[in-house]
Amino acid sequence: MKKIIECVPNFSEGRDMNIIKQITDAIESVEGARLLNVDPGKGTNRTVVTFVGDENAVVEAAYKAITKAAELIDMSKHKGEHPRFGATDVCPFIPIANATMEDCIACAKELGERVGHTLHIPVYLYEYAASAPHRKNLASIRAGEYEGIAQKIKLPEWKPDFGPALFNERNGNIAVGARDFLVAYNANLNTTSVRRANSVAFDVREAGRKVKNDKGEEVNEPGACKAVKGIGWYIPEYGVAQVSMNLTNINTTPVHVAFDACVTSAYNRGMRVTGSELVGLIPLNAMLDAGKYFLEKQQRSTGVSEDELIKIAIKSMGLDELTPFDPGKRIIEYTLQDANSSPLVNMSLKKFADETASESPAPGGGSIAAYLGALGISLGTMVANLSSHKKGWDDRWKEFSDWAEKGQAIKDQLIKMVDEDTRAFNKIMDALGLPKSTDTEKTMRKQAIQEATHYAIEIPLRVMQLSLSSFDIIKAMAETGNPNSVSDAGVGALCARSAVYGAYLNVKINAAGYEDKAYVEQTLKHANEMLTKTFELEKQVLEIVNNKIG
Structural contact between residues 421 and 463, judged by C-beta atoms closer than 8 angstroms: yes
Residue 7 backbone zone (phi > 0: left; psi -120 to 50: alpha; other: beta): beta
* 328 and 353, same domain (yes or no): no
Q: Which residues contact 148 (CB under 8 A, 6 or more apart)?
A: 85
Are the C-beta atoms of 315 and 297 separated by less than 8 Å? no
47 and 137 housed in the same domain: yes
Q: Give the pLDDT confidence score for residue 1 in this predicted structure.
A: 63
The CATH number for 141's domain is: 3.30.990.10
CA distance 208 to 200: 10
Q: Are residues 31 and 170 in the same domain?
A: yes
Q: Note the pLDDT of residue 336.
A: 85
Pairing outcome for strands 218-221 and 88-97: unpaired
Q: Which of 282, 306, 336 is the last residue of a domain?
A: 336
pTM value is 0.85
Based on the domain organization, do 168 and 191 belong to the same domain? no
The total number of structural domains that make up the chain: 3
442 in a structural domain: yes
Residue 227 region by backbone torsions, left for phi larger than 0, else alpha for psi between -120 and 50, else beta: left
- Same domain for 46 and 191, yes or no, is no
Report angle CA 34, 79, 240 to the nearest 5 degrees. Answer: 85
Residue 90 forms part of a structural domain: yes
Radius of gyration of the chain (CA): 29
Count CB atoms within 10 A of the CB of residue 451: 13
Nearest alpha carbon to residue 450 among 513, 396, 503, 379 = 513
**542 and 420 within one domain:** yes
Q: Which residues of the chain have pLDDT under 50?
A: none
Q: End-to-end distance of the chain based on CA atoms, in angstroms?
A: 57
| Burial profile 310-343: b = 16 or more Cβ within 10 angstroms, e = fewer | bbbbbebbbbebbeebebeebbbebbeeeeeebe
CATH number of the domain residue 398 falls in: 1.20.120.680
Q: Mark whether 492 and 544 lie in a shared domain.
A: yes
- DSSP labels for 496-534? HHHHHHHHHHHHHHHHTT-S-HHHHHHHHHHHHHHHHHH
Residue 153 sits in the same domain as residue 188: no
3-state helix, strand, coil in the chain (%, to 5): 55, 15, 30
Residue 91's SS3 state is strand
Parallel, antiparallel, or unpaired for β 10-11 and 46-53? Answer: antiparallel
How many Å apart are CA 405 and CA 424, to the nearest integer? 29
Q: Which of 91, 69, 63 is nearest to 16 (CA)?
A: 69
> For residues 496 and 475, is the Cβ–Cβ distance under 8 A?
no
Closest listed residue to residue 500, CA positions, set 547, 460, 449: 460
Question: Can you give the residue range of the structural domain that contains 202?
Answer: 183-336
Give the three-state DSSP class for 156.
helix
Has residue 342 been placed in a domain?
A: no
Does the N-terminal peptide bond of residue 343 adopt cis geometry, omega within 30 degrees of 0? no
State the Cα–Cα distance between residues 196 and 210, nearest whole angstrom: 16
Distance of CA 272 to the CA centre of its chain: 29
Angle, to 10 degrees, between the axis of helix 517-549 and the axis of helix 439-480? 20
Instruction: List, by residue number, the catalytic residues.
Output: 82, 421
Going by C-beta distance under 8 Å and a sequence separation of 6 or more, which residues neighbour residue 275?
188, 317, 318, 319, 320, 321, 322
343-350 contacts: CB < 8 A, separation 24 or more?
343/419, 344/418, 344/419, 344/422, 345/415, 345/416, 345/418, 345/419
Q: What are the Cα distances from residue 408, in Å, to 138, 141, 200, 374, 544?
A: 41, 46, 38, 9, 23
Residues 146 and 250 in one domain: no
Q: Does the residue 343 lie in any domain?
A: no
Helices 255-268 and 306-317 pack at an angle, to 10 degrees, of 20
Element (H, E) at 231: strand 228-235
Q: Write down which residue in 336, 363, 390 finishes a domain.
A: 336
Mention every residue, 6+ apart, whose C-beta is less than 8 A from residue 415.
Answer: 345, 370, 371, 374
- What CATH number is given to the structural domain containing 207? 3.30.70.670
Do 245 and 115 belong together in one domain?
Answer: no
Domain boundary, last residue among 158, 178, 198: 178
For residues 165 and 187, state if they share a domain.
no
Which of 21, 50, 47 is closest to 35 using CA atoms?
50
**222 within some domain:** yes
User: Is residue 341 situated within a structural domain?
Assistant: no
Are 150 and 63 in a shared domain? yes
- 524 lies in a domain? yes
Q: Which of 292, 321, 323 is nearest to 308 (CA)?
A: 292
In a domain, 488, yes or no: yes
